Amino acid sequence: MHSKRNSLTVNQKHNLTGWIFLLPAALLIFAMNFYPMLQALFLSFQSGIGNKLSWGGLSNYARLLEDKVFWTSLINNFFYLLIQVPVMLILALILASLLNKKDLKFKGLFRTAIFLPCCTALVSYSIIFKTLFAYDGYINTILLNLGLISSRINWLGQVETAKIIIIIALIWRWTGYNMVFYLAGLQNIDESLYEAARIDGAGPIKAFFKITVPLLRPTILLTTIMSINGTLQLFDESVNLTGGGPANSTLTMSHYIYKVSFEYNPQFGYAAAMSYVIFILVALLSFIQMKVGDKR
Amino acid sequence: MRKLKNFGTYAFLTIVSFISIFPLYWMIAASTNNSTDILGGRLLPGSHLVTNLTNLLSQQNVGRAFGNSLFYSCILSILSLLVCSIAGYGFEIYHNKAKDTLMSILLLAMMVPFAATLIPLFKLFTGLHLQSTWIAYVLPTISTPFLIMLFRQSARSFPTEIIEAARIDGLSELKIFVTIFIPTMKSTYAAAMTVTFMNAWNNYLWPKVIMMSDTSQTMPMLVANLSVGYSIDYGVLMLGVLICSLPTGILFLILQKSFANGIVGAVKG
C-alpha cells in the first residue's frame, strides 16, 4: 500500500516537473500570440484615428468591402500564392530527388549553392533584385549588350513585370530552403524501393510519382502550409523591392496594414479588421490542406 | 543512354546553381566597384572596396546597427532555444492527455499572422515604455510553436532508459535535461539555432515599428534606408547589403552539416 502511494507521488512529481518545464513557453505564446489576437478582434470593432477609438460595430468590415486598395492587395497575395508556391515547391522537389541520386558527384557543392540564397537577409535580397532589375540595372545592360532587347525595359515600373520580378525573387530565395526539407525526408525512403521499381521496369519519372511523392507527403504538407502562411504574410519584398508600386500593383496585405497603421493617420481598428481577414485565410487554407493531406 | 541522362542532370543542376549564386556574386563584386562601373555592367571585382567602406561608415552608423542586430539576435536565439527546448522536452517526456491538448492549442499559434498581433503588441510595449529596448525586440518571438515541435520530436527519439538510469543515479529532472539531453541533441540545437538566428537577424516589420530611436536601429533597417533616395551610390549600397548578410551566411556555412541532420531528425518524427 505504502509503496503504491509513493510511486503515485513520484508520477505526480514528474507530471508537475513537466508542467514547470513547458510553462514559460506556453505562457509566452498565450501572452504574445493569443491574447493580442483577442485584443485585435476587439480593436477591429472600433473605429477612429490614433488612440481616439469608439465602438464602430461592423463598420470596419463594411469599409473593407468598399476599399479597392485592400482588394488589390488581397488579389496580389493570391496571385503570388497561386504561381509562386507551386512552382517553387515542384522545383524544390525535383532538385531534391536529383540530389538524392546515389551516383551523383559534387552533391555537396550543388546543395550548398542552391541553399546559399537562404543566407541572405530578406531586406538584402530584395535590394539586390531591385538593383539588378532597375531601369539602369545590370539585367537591362546585359540584355542590351547581347542584343536581346532594343531598349531598356522598366521592369519594376510596369504592373505585369513588377509582379513577375517579385515572384522570381521569392522563388530564388526560398527554393533551397524547401529543398533541404525534402532532402531530409528522402533520406528516410528506402533505396531498395527504387531498386525494385527499376527491376519492374518503371522509369525515373514513374518512380518519382509513385514512390517519392507519396512517401514525402507529410513533408510536402508541412512545406505547403509554411509557404502559404509565408506568402500571405509577405512584407519585406513589397516594401523594399517595389515599394508596393506601380499603382499598388505589388502591394501585399501586410504592407497595406502597415501603411494604414503607421504611415497614414493611424487607423488601428481598420488595420485590425484587415489583419483578421489574413488570419481567417491562413486558418482556412491550412485547414483545407490538412484535410486534403489526410485523405489521400 | 545512361551517360546522356546524367549529363542532363548535371546541366540542370549547374544552371540552377549558377542562378542561385550569380546575384550573390554580383553583390560581392558590386561592393568593390563604384556606381558608374556597376551600372556599366562590370562583373569583375574592382578596387573601390575601401572607398565604399569609408563612404558607408561616414554616411551611416554601421557599427552601432551591426552591434544592435548581433546583440538582439544572440539574446533572442539563446532565450528561444532554452525556453522552447525545455518545453518540447517537457511536453514529450512527461506527456499526458492534458499536455498533449495544450500542445495542439499552442500549435494553432502557427496560424496567427504577425500583422494581426502587430498593433496590440505595439500598444502593449509602448504602454510599458519598452519601445526601442531589446526586451521589445525579443519578447514576441522567444517562444514559437515550430521550435517547441522540433524539440518535442527530437525528445521522442531520446531513449527513456537513459532517463531511468539517470534517475536511479539520483540526478534531478532538471539536471538530466541539462547534462544529458542538451549534449546529446547537439544537431537539433544547431538546426534550431540556424533557423532562429536567421529569423531574428532578418526580422524587419516588428523592429521597423517598435525600434523607434536612432540608437536602437538594426542592420536591415539601415540597409533599407540606404536604398531609398534619388542618388543612390550602388557600391556603398551593395557593401551594406553584403555586411548585412555576413552573419547569417557565416553561421549557415559553419552549421550546415548539423542543420541538415537536425532537420532530418525533425522530419523523421
Same domain, A136 and A254: yes
Confidence grade of residue A121 (pLDDT, cut at 50, 70, 90): confident
- At A241, which CATH number? 1.10.3720.10
Tell if the CB–CB gap between B83 and A28 is shorter than 8 Å: yes
pLDDT reported for residue A294: 62
The nearest CA of chain A is from the CA of B23 a distance in Å of 7
DSSP per-residue letters across B197-255: HHHHHH--HHHHHH--SGGG--HHHHHHHHT-SSS--HHHHHHHHHHHHHHHHHHHHHH
**B6, B10, B13, B56, best to mutate vs chain A, most A CBs in 10 Å:** B13
Q: Is residue B36 part of a domain?
A: no
ipTM of model: 0.88
pLDDT reported for residue A1: 43
The nearest CA of chain B is from the CA of A37 a distance in Å of 6
**A91, A127, A256, A281, best to mutate vs chain B, most B CBs in 10 Å:** A127
Same domain, A6 and A73: no
- Whether the predicted pLDDT of A120 surpasses 80: yes
Backbone angles phi, psi at A235, to 5 degrees: -140, -55
pLDDT reported for residue B44: 86
Which among B106, B113, B223 has CB closest to A123? B223
- Nearest one of A186, A217, A181, A210 to A196, comparing CA atoms: A210
Tell if the CB–CB gap between B116 and A185 is shorter than 8 Å: no
pLDDT reported for residue A296: 46
How many domains are contained in chain B? 1
Q: Is residue B181 part of a domain?
A: yes
pLDDT reported for residue B269: 42
Tell if the CB–CB gap between A21 and B89 is shorter than 8 Å: yes
Q: What is the mean pLDDT of chain A?
A: 87
Same domain, A8 and A102: no
Residue in B closest to A185 by C-alpha: B267
- Whether the predicted pLDDT of A6 surpasses 60: no
Q: Which residues pair with A245 in a beta bridge?
A: none
Measured torsion, CA atoms of residues A61, A66, A71, A72, in degrees rounded to the nearest 10: -140
Beta strands in chain A (DSSP E): 46-49, 52-55
A226-272 pLDDT tens trace: 888 889 889 888 888 888 878 889 999 999 999 988 887 888 899 99
DSSP per-residue letters across A115-166: HGGGGS-HHHHHHHHHHHTSTTSHHHHHHHHTTS-SS---GGGSHHHHHHHH
pLDDT reported for residue B4: 60
Confidence grade of residue A5 (pLDDT, cut at 50, 70, 90): low
Tell if the CB–CB gap between B111 and A229 is shorter than 8 Å: yes
B179-227 pLDDT tens trace: 999 998 888 898 888 889 988 998 888 999 999 998 999 999 999 988 8
Contacts of A236 in chain B (CB under 8 A): 202, 204-205
Which among B14, B244, B252 has CB closest to A123? B244
pLDDT reported for residue B264: 64
Contacts of A284 in chain B (CB under 8 A): none
**Residue B122 CB partners (closer than 8 Å, separation 6+):** A261, B209, B210
pLDDT reported for residue B160: 86
Q: Is residue B259 part of a domain?
A: yes
The nearest CA of chain B is from the CA of A59 a distance in Å of 18
- At B83, which CATH number? 1.10.3720.10
Range of the domain at A227: 60-295
Confidence grade of residue A24 (pLDDT, cut at 50, 70, 90): very high
A26-77 pLDDT tens trace: 999 999 999 999 999 999 998 877 777 788 788 889 898 899 999 999 999 9
- Whether the predicted pLDDT of A105 surpasses 90: no
The mean per-residue pLDDT over the stretch A180-205 comes to 83
Task: Give me the residue label for grid cell 506568402.
Answer: A231
The mean per-residue pLDDT over the stretch A276-287 comes to 86
Dist CA A30 CA A51 (whole Å):
25
Q: Is residue B239 part of a domain?
A: no
pLDDT reported for residue A8: 64
- Whether the predicted pLDDT of A170 surpasses 50: yes
pLDDT reported for residue A136: 85
Tell if the CB–CB gap between A121 and B99 is shorter than 8 Å: no
Kindly give the parts of chain B with pLDDT less than 70. 1-5, 260-269
How many domains are contained in chain A? 2
DSSP per-residue letters across B118-184: HHHHHHHHHHTT-TTSHHHHHGGGSS-HHHHHHHHHHHHTS-HHHHHHHHHTT--HHHHIIIIIHHH
**Residue B112 CB partners (closer than 8 Å, separation 6+):** A33, A34, A37, A279
Q: Is residue A254 part of a domain?
A: yes
Same domain, A93 and A119: yes
Containing A194, the helix (H) or strand (E) segment is: helix A191-199
